[in-house]
Amino acid sequence: MTRVVVLDDYQAIAGRYAHWDRLPDASVEFVTDHVTDRTALVGLLRGADVVVAMRERTPFPADLLAALPDLRLLVTTGMRNAAVDVAAARAAGITVCGTGAPQGPAAELTWALLLALVRQIPAEDAAVRAGGWQHTVGTSLAGRTLGLMGLGRLGQRVARMGQAFEMDVLAWSQHLEPDFARSLGVEPVTKTELLRRADVVSLHLRLSDRTRGVVGADELALMKPTAYLINTSRGPLVDEAALVTALTSGRIAGAGLDVFDVEPLPPDHALRSAPRTVLTPHIGYGTHDTYQQYFTDAVEDIEAYLAGQPVRVLAD
């Protein structure tokens, strides 16, 4: 019998978003805890033929893959996973494949965080529930400037939303094509200019050695004291210690964060008590539509693999 282990099912929902009973002669186990201890993780996965990884919650470096000689198929939700050493998996004879993923939810959450910040919705909601009324004054967006770090598929969606709010939109990335940006009605600028001009800085970059810490103390110092930072991409794009300092000192107006260096965010982390923040627990992709596609596609990948048919193979 094929043993399938579905990791990091925090909300115990993976089982109801797909027909796992379609898998022939397979036992499927759903792990709701995030297992960080290496020895415990190896013990949990020992004997598993198939592992389904939820996003990048559990890394699969070469040494872990080498400790799992029975593993034949690793399925990750989405078609990119920087936490999986795909080349090492291939060398070990492990097939790594992915699933489809809707593009809209993360861009939508970017705007949810931004609107919650500028209109101070969490504070006003709490005040109304406590019997209060009108404690804050919000900031309007029309006529202000949105600065996008990254103009890929998600960045383009956020740009269109910014234009719908009648914002001027700037963009920067290390490989941005100026003419492409202009074709979208977006002004290409340098990183320094973007940080100095933008009323909202929103990150839409892939995490790599080049982009890690792309917003640090120096970058935060360039921002307007009235500007907001939004990160729905990857936590390590931002220097968290520098951000906490900027927030507590009033250097910037606020931050909306869905991603963090360590996830789940440790209970005593300074960001949990930082002022002028809206924090969400990496739910940018977390919609019914997304989970339906993730786990339906995961089942299809496993079915295809077991039947000797092509699967959605990840590139290195």
Structure tokens given for 205: 């970059």
* Lookup result for tokens 């794009």: 237
Catalytic residue among 55, 57, 144, 234: 234
Catalytic residue among 124, 193, 263, 303: 263
Which 8-state DSSP code applies to residue 82?
T
Catalytic residue among 144, 157, 282, 300: 282
Which 8-state DSSP code applies to residue 315?
P
Burial class of residue 279, CB neighbours in 10 A (0-12, 13-18, 19+) = middle
What is the amino acid identity at position 211? T
Structure tokens given for 226: 């009235």
The answer to whether residue 282 is catalytic is yes
The Cα–Cα gap between 226 and 21 comes to 53
Task: For 266-302, give the secondary structure using H, E and C.
Answer: CCCCHHHHCCCEEECCCCCCCCHHHHHHHHHHHHHHH
Task: Say whether 272 sits in a helix, a strand or coil.
Answer: helix
Q: How many CA atoms lie within 13 A of 152 on its CB side?
A: 13
Catalytic residues: 234, 263, 282
